[in-house]
Structure 1
């Protein structure tokens, strides 16, 4: 498995890796790890060392000091090979890329897996890239007739050459607005803007993380998410029972702190969501259709808003959602009858079944 990485979600990836290793069926799988430091160095980890990340008493990270390593395509397959030439190459049957955010969930490392000829869990190159870019996601969903909320995009050259024109273009949206890095995750760099006076600062904050910025009109409704798994052997994708994000502060939103650093004071995840049967069915059908339209494989969490008039509008997909035991993705599958170990096994089996080749 690969974890850590250079994105702001480095520590969450480490927690995810420890939980996944703990859940793996030891009768079927043997885990070895590639821990990527915050500055991009690839290092080799044993399963026991990955498990120890859970006991650090704080958000863990990949330190320097482990043997440098990498994936290499050799005669007979793909292997984990230490940079100093020490030890025997370790054969790799499938990679579980437990990386969140840029340079892990955006198609970059998926391209490397394709080049090294190794199977891997999750979406392919194009689907990963399109789902990471919130603007491209909305374009694809809208083209397929799936509902998305009002939004606008600020491209790097537009803000650099004529920021006033960008602001005038945003005047057609109704406050509050949510200003986001177009390609990011875990709500890093997102600002809720209640009025025009905070808009420029919010755009500049988003641009610190990504020069391309997405501005969304705030939606009135319930935040409902649904976990999707690919189907085995050509079968259709499967949708879990939905969950609901309940934000307790009406002026707040489900940001990084609410997701990972606090107790339930800011927000809670209610699984399964308290929805009527018809709405539950619509959310699940919408999630599966979005998964297919976006070309997803393996897994994704589809986040939606259910409006007061019953519309289901897609907010965004997440192709490698949080995978700690308290994260929404495994909790929704648990509510649907699949425990954590079964979920990890299912994902690895899906990756093993999938043929090699560009996607």
Structure 2
């Protein structure tokens, strides 16, 4: 008599082996798509940064909380005209290094004016972590959550009085590269591609950005290496204050010099218009010191001032203002584990008054 239980096990193993043999090539192919996308990103970013006349200023990259690159974005009449592009986003880590890449898609919207060519390469610099958090929570849309503002290019030192939006956008089409405005369009994470690339079901962008033991191909190292060439990045292997009346206790004008970094404290209050929340106040405080210390070419605030509001060094005062106490130095100082060169205390009022309380 034939023992059917004995036959059942080999049959099950045979079916399992057949299914594995069938699925494995598909899984490898899915991961290969991600590998090729990273290779495209490395090539595009490297080509753009190689031209000293059109490269993105390193100080902007150093002060960015995240970088998104969408290569070969299909286009209609506009650079992005109801089309879809695939790319990736890396986020700045607390130690200054870049995170694992998370794949994303850009759909719809328009970038700049009509240009020739059938596709474009798009780069987005996220200067504030809060926008990345909005993206992870599915609450991000250009023109609603934020606008992509044309970013500066070239090696010329940035104007110290210039202020920049939280997202700077660039595009290259038909050999031309420059900062362009981005309005409309949805930026979303590509969950399927992230699952395939990291070989983990239901992996989230937050897990990707924070993960240290992910099963990622060696091409990620190539991405980090390339970014390290154009930014001051580490290798991968709350203060108290009290508010005062608007400008009433502003200190006299003076200069603070540390290791070649000179910051000028203006006794006059600067008003930037009404502010509705602490997130806007944080950006205003940071940009005020960036201006006072000569611009992003020579000064960079600590990472906490580019991160989530919950991690920002501030207190809310009884009069409704916010006081921020934060360090800064020459670009890349925190990544190099250098001692901060400047300690700033800035109070921001809901009416838009921004006052430098101290600058030492």
**Is the radius of gyration larger for structure 1 or structure 2?**
2
Alignment TM-score > 0.5, same fold? no
Return the TM-score normalized by structure 1: 0.21
TM-score, with structure 2 as normaliser: 0.21
Whose helix fraction is larger, Structure 1's or Structure 2's? Answer: 1
